[in-house]
Amino acid sequence: MNDKQFLVESNIFIYHINNEPVATQFLTEYFCQCCISQLSFIEVLSFDFTHEERQAVQELLEGFEIIDTTKDISLQAISNRDRKKIKIADNIIASTAQVYSLTLVTRSIKDFQSLDIKLLNPFGQ
């Protein structure tokens, strides 16, 4: 985990799957520095894919280090919830970035802004 800098949120993978060049470029350029939350793994694979598409997406996701939810992440999520109403999935992903001191890569910056977290929008908005 020492070499990881980024926690990639689900929407970046969805943009990549939908052939959005900015997302693809980020994932390609920073692949070795990226990891994902177990929750993002579940979220992305929950989209409506054909069997073949799901297999390809699963292979893509499994190429990244996947961080399981821990007690520390759970406690951080509870602390975050005391500060801001946030969807549980977003909260667990944000908490994962916080606990592991990773920059959260997402296009949905405003969903996470009031939390004590480093954010990066590769789309630059």
Q: Tens digits of per-residue pLDDT, 3-57?
A: 899 999 999 999 999 999 999 999 999 999 999 999 999 999 999 999 999 999 9
pLDDT at residue 1 is higher than 70: no
Per-domain boundaries in the chain:
6-120
- What CATH homologous superfamily does 6-120 map to? 5'-nuclease (3.40.50.1010)
CA distance 48 to 3: 33
Q: Are 35 and 64 a contacting pair, CB within 8 Å?
A: yes
Tell me the pTM.
0.93
Q: Let me know how long the chain is.
A: 125
Structure-token pair, residue 65? 């280090």
